[in-house]
Amino acid sequence: AALWLGACTSETPPPDALVVAIEAAPKTLDPFLATDAYGVRIGHQLLFDTLLRLDEQLHIAPGVALRWEALTPLSYRLHLAPDVRFHDGSALTADDVVYTLESLMDPALSSPYGAGLRDKIAAVRAEDARTVRIDLKAPYAAFLGDLIVPVRSRAAGRGNPLLGSGPYRLVAEQPGELVLARNEAWFGGRPGIPRVIFKVIKDTNTRLLKFRKGSLDLAINAVPMDKVASFGEAPLSDNYRVEEAPGLSYQYLGFNLDDPLLGRLAVRQALAQAIDVAALIRHRQREHAVRAVSLLPPDSPFAARDLPPPPFDPARARALLDAAGLPERDGTRFELIYKTTTDHEAVLQARAIQSDLRAVGIALTLRSYEWGTFYDDIQKGNFQLFSLRWIGVADPDFYFELFHSSRLPPEGRNRVRYRNPRLDALLERGRLESDPAARAATYRAVQHILAADLPYLSLWHNNNIAIVSRRVRGLRLHPSGGFEFLPAARLGGS
């Protein structure tokens, strides 16, 4: 048996605490600076309340702002909840919202959230203690999504950056462990779980051993795909269950369109039909993913649901390459270089793609690099093929960053060097379109153009997978894969 299935002694979690395994410690919990996954999931979602939020259907939903109105295409008014208090008992008011937005926009802070807000906001002011007015420099249809930001206390300022108003407060921190206690006065209602203990367990086998010992209650997307099934079988199934729900992760294959070969549409079409994506999902993802046809998840209100994925058709791929004047000679038509990281699963995925392309006469050379070197090459355009994922994309405005011709690196993230004036015009229109139905139609047209032009080959959307103790009740996974559900969860008997 594998090491982690060996004999273990029990380490029962405290009866009043949920013990959560995380793969890495947050780099910072300061909500103005945190960008890493656990810094955001613990800081933004538990220690702080955000002005607005995304609900499970990926719609903008109330946060500290209970309601909002667009006065004009350039002006918004936000109405705050009357009963929000910071953890020190002080009231959260419009002045704190103004302080938060002005601080984020201050270049001296160097907040990763600042540039986007500075580009869009002309002025922000408190109209009264519960009302905030925001004026924009230009119309921007996706602006409400930019208000999913944690609200900080003006009085506390930089002196106490972790003073939040969220459902939990930080009560202890030491290397490898964070302890949160519930905010009894949280405006969203008293959280059901008294304490949450986050254990930093970087090693996969160690995490699995801890589950075997019964010392963990929860891990989200922190168990290898090939081990998930074991939690549905005895003895692990006696203490744990597997919760699975759609997520916001998008895996794709990127083509360098400045490359002489990959700049040809027929070559990209052939590659798309030569790769057996269904087999990759079956064998590499263990069916814990769904086929992607675009950046947006299938449940998105903006998704083009009539868009089929490219079929797996090696014969058609060979015919496309023949017609493009790329015949097979001695078993090979041409060579391509596929760059990836040293991550074990990423390398196995690359090898499967290599095998598929070999069958149509394409010799794929694999080159794996440490993350920093790999990322630097992608940013500089020093690649032919690569695979990466985007995480957390809910609003289609992100298409502008990825595919508008003005957003080539280093200014933007159009890594594949895609240029299409027709798409540029649609992306610009989408930013200005205030009517929801018209905006959705615009972005469905965007998805159809990208599916035809194939700057990316969409691969899959990973599901969120949680290993959950049977004593945990009321858990509903959010598409983000974060901890938004915790305030509503409870422990057996708590």
Residue 31 belongs to some domain of the structure:
no
Residue 39 belongs to some domain of the structure:
no
Same domain, 364 and 348: yes
What is residue 7's predicted lDDT score, i.e. its pLDDT? 39
How many domains is the chain built from? 3
Same domain, 229 and 272: no
Same domain, 115 and 214: no
pTM above 0.85, yes or no: yes
Query: If 0-12 CB within 10 Å is exposed, 13-18 middle and 19+ buried, where does residue 323 land?
Result: exposed
The token pair at 146 is 């930019």
Apex CA 343: angle with CA 254 and CA 372, to 5°? Answer: 70
Same domain, 486 and 392: no
Residue 42 belongs to some domain of the structure:
no
Banded model confidence at residue 11, pLDDT cuts 50, 70, 90 = confident
Which among 213, 204, 218, 220 is positioned nearest to 236, based on CA atoms?
A: 213
- Which whole number is the average pLDDT over 1-15? 57
pLDDT digits (tens, 9 = 90+) for 165-218: 999 999 999 999 999 999 999 999 999 999 999 999 999 899 999 999 999 999
For 185, the domain range is 3-26+166-245+471-491
What is residue 55's predicted lDDT score, i.e. its pLDDT? 93
Same domain, 12 and 118: no
What is residue 8's predicted lDDT score, i.e. its pLDDT? 43
Banded model confidence at residue 391, pLDDT cuts 50, 70, 90 = confident
Same domain, 205 and 314: no
Check: CB of residue 431 under 8 Å from CB of residue 142.
yes
Query: What percentage of residues in the chain have a pLDDT greater than 90?
Result: 88
- Which whole number is the average pLDDT over 457-486? 96
Same domain, 282 and 410: yes
pLDDT digits (tens, 9 = 90+) for 219-275: 999 998 889 999 999 999 999 999 999 999 999 999 999 999 999 999 999 999 999
Same domain, 196 and 217: yes
pLDDT digits (tens, 9 = 90+) for 403-427: 999 999 988 899 999 999 999 999 9
Q: How many alpha carbons lie under 13 Å from residue 393 in its C-beta half-sphere?
A: 22
Same domain, 233 and 346: no
Least confident of 69-73, 110-114, 473-477: 110-114
What is residue 156's predicted lDDT score, i.e. its pLDDT? 86
Same domain, 93 and 183: no
Same domain, 129 and 258: no
CATH of the domain at 343: 3.10.105.10
CATH of the domain at 207: 3.40.190.10
Banded model confidence at residue 10, pLDDT cuts 50, 70, 90 = low
Residue 33 belongs to some domain of the structure:
no
What is residue 494's predicted lDDT score, i.e. its pLDDT? 45
What is residue 358's predicted lDDT score, i.e. its pLDDT? 98
Cα separation, 494 vs 492, whole angstroms: 6
Banded model confidence at residue 368, pLDDT cuts 50, 70, 90 = very high
Residue 44 belongs to some domain of the structure:
no
Same domain, 20 and 135: no
Cα separation, 102 vs 134, whole angstroms: 11
What is residue 2's predicted lDDT score, i.e. its pLDDT? 37
CATH of the domain at 103: 3.90.76.10
The token pair at 491 is 């422990």
The token pair at 210 is 């801890």
